[in-house]
Structure 1
Amino acid sequence: MNVSEWVFELFTLGVMAFALGMDAFSVGLGMGMLKLRLSRIFFIGIIIGLFHIIMPLAGMLCGNLVSAHFGGIAAYIGGGLLLILGFQMIMSSFRSDSGVLIMPVGVGLIVFALSVSLDSFSVGLSLGIYGARIIIAAIVFGIISTILTWLGLILGRKVQDWVGSYGEALGGSILFAIGLKLIFM
């Protein structure tokens, strides 16, 4: 492979990674309104990045075995998870006695990471069929989604300061809207 083909492949993978990472950015924007510490934001970004490495790798390894069927299902599962997360954030913003039921910690973080990386699995299926360089693609996906997650979480944190007590409801609404988009579009 010559240099121009290598650059074109990296550019193509970068564009795909950016498109996939925009879900992580958008969801991070909503989750960032939970008044997260910077150390938690850093950790969440790393976990999201790891999921954006693992999921396309798993998809590429599965190859064309389930690509025709699983691509649509991944969007529905991811959308459903985001609907649940968004709904519970909206509901908890109206309650003064309890906090968020699902926080981006422990199992909640796994659910969060899984919901924004399921589409990476289906993209991985396609890349596996076309013979993309698996490790390079996964690393590019992981790095870009980590950066976009950090940007979304930090921007969400800033927005939360501006909107005050309505920030959690706004964040939940963003997650809910993204979930609807994944399911119906």
Structure 2
Amino acid sequence: MNVDVLIGEILTLSIMAFALGMDAFSVGLGMGMARLRRSQIFHIGVIIGLFHLIMPLGGMMAGQFLSGALGALAGYIGGALLLVLGIQMIAASFSSKEERIVSPSGFGLFIFAVGVSLDSFSVGLSLGLYGTRPILTICLFGLFSMVLTWAGLLLGKQVQAWLGAYSEALGGAILLSFGLKLLLPI
């Protein structure tokens, strides 16, 4: 095993993992504005990290024949989920009720995690074609997405403290804009 090749692969995969994790950071920034406790932030980051382990591994195992069709479909599903979350957060910011359609716990957290990590599934499809080291790949993807999710959620929590009642509407607008970006690539 050539050490230079391994270092190059780790560097390349780290850059890809960072790029995929930035989606989690951005969405976490929006979701962090929704009055979350630190324990929820920890839990959300771990779940997002786990999904960024599972989804690319599933993508690698799915193979070449699904790559083209699922790549576009994953973007549309992720965009739709972010739209729903964004609209729900904006509506909740104007409502006096604390009830949410999708909350960052239970099944809502599952929907959130799937929406954020769908792009890593399609990336896993392509990486499977190139024969990357699966364990190294998924570990880097999971680690980067977990840390970047925590960073986004914690920063969003700070912004929420600064903006007060308007922060949840701003967070919803961020999620809504990312959903639109995925649905209407320009």
TM-score interval (norm. to shorter): over 0.9
Q: Which residue of 1 aligns with 2:125?
A: 125
TM-score (norm. length: structure 2): 0.98
- What's the CA shift string for 1:82-105, capped at 9, x where partnerless? 000000110111111343321110
Q: 1:12-61 CA distances to partner (integer Å, 9 max, x unpaired)?
A: 00000011001100000011011111111011100000000000000000
By how many angstroms is 1:183 displaced? 1.2
Structure 2 counterparts to residues 32-181 of structure 1, below 5 A: 32-181=32-181
- Provide the secondary structure at the position in 2 that maps to 1:34: coil
Shift of 1:111: 0.6
CA distance in 1, matches of 2:131, 2:67: 14
How far apart in 2 are the matches of 1:98 and 1:18? Answer: 34
Please give the alpha-carbon distance, in whole angstroms, between the structure 2 residues aligned to 1:5 and 1:129: 18
Q: Give the aligned length.
A: 185
Separation of aligned partners in 1, 2:14 and 2:139: 10
Moved over 4 A (4+): none
Residue 184 of structure 1 and its aligned partner are, at CA, apart by: 1.3
Partner Cα distance (2:153, 2:49) in 1: 13
Q: Give percent identity, aligned residues only.
A: 60
Q: Which moved more, 1:68-77 or 1:95-104?
A: 95-104
Q: Which amino acid aligns with 1:71?
A: G
Structure 1: gaps of 5 or more residues: none
